[in-house]
């Protein structure tokens, strides 16, 4: 699969995971729906400006978008989890979400 199609596929995957329609994301990113559609199907390559707008609208980093879907080993996953938790800092709402998630994952172990 070419880079245009791969990038478009990833953008669409993130859009759908956020529950956004093409119309909604295109409005948020201030691009046309036709342009977004062309990007998602790999017809047009994305400009740096449009990429920046989409990353902002999707609330993800370029690193997250371009990351491979390869499974990471446990040590690497723990490192990434700890980095994410450190970025959250002392936000009580987000810490409670993490606590509840980890508590539910450890039940019945």
Q: What is the pLDDT of residues 11-40, one digit of tens each?
A: 999 999 999 999 999 999 999 999 999 999
Same domain flag for 7 and 58: yes
Alpha-carbon gap, residue 59 to 27, rounded angstroms: 14
pTM: 0.62
Q: Are residues 57 and 90 located together in one domain of the fold?
A: no
Per the prediction, the chain carries an average pLDDT of: 89
Smallest CA-to-CA distance from 11 within 1, 22, 23 is with 22
CATH code for the domain of 33: 1.10.260.40
- Judgement on whether residues 82 and 37 belong to the same structural domain of the protein: no
Domain that holds residue 93: 74-106
47-81 pLDDT, tens digit each: 999 999 999 999 999 888 887 666 667 888 888 88
Same domain, 32 and 60: yes
User: Could you tell me the CA-to-CA distances from 79 to 20, 62, 83, 86, 92 in Å, in that order?
Assistant: 30, 19, 6, 11, 21
- 7 and 32 housed in the same domain: yes
């Amino acid at each position: 699969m070419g880079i245009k199609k791969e990038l478009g596929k990833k953008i669409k995957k993130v859009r759908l995971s956020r529950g956004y329609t093409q119309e909604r994301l295109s409005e948020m990113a201030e691009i046309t729906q036709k342009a977004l559609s062309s990007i998602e199907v790999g017809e047009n390559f994305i400009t740096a400006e449009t990429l920046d707008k989409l990353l902002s609208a999707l609330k993800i980093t370029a690193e997250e978008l371009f990351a491979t879907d390869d499974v990471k080993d446990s040590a690497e996953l723990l490192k990434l989890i700890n980095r994410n938790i450190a970025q959250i800092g002392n936000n009580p709402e987000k810490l409670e979400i993490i606590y509840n998630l980890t508590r539910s994952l450890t039940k019945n172990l």
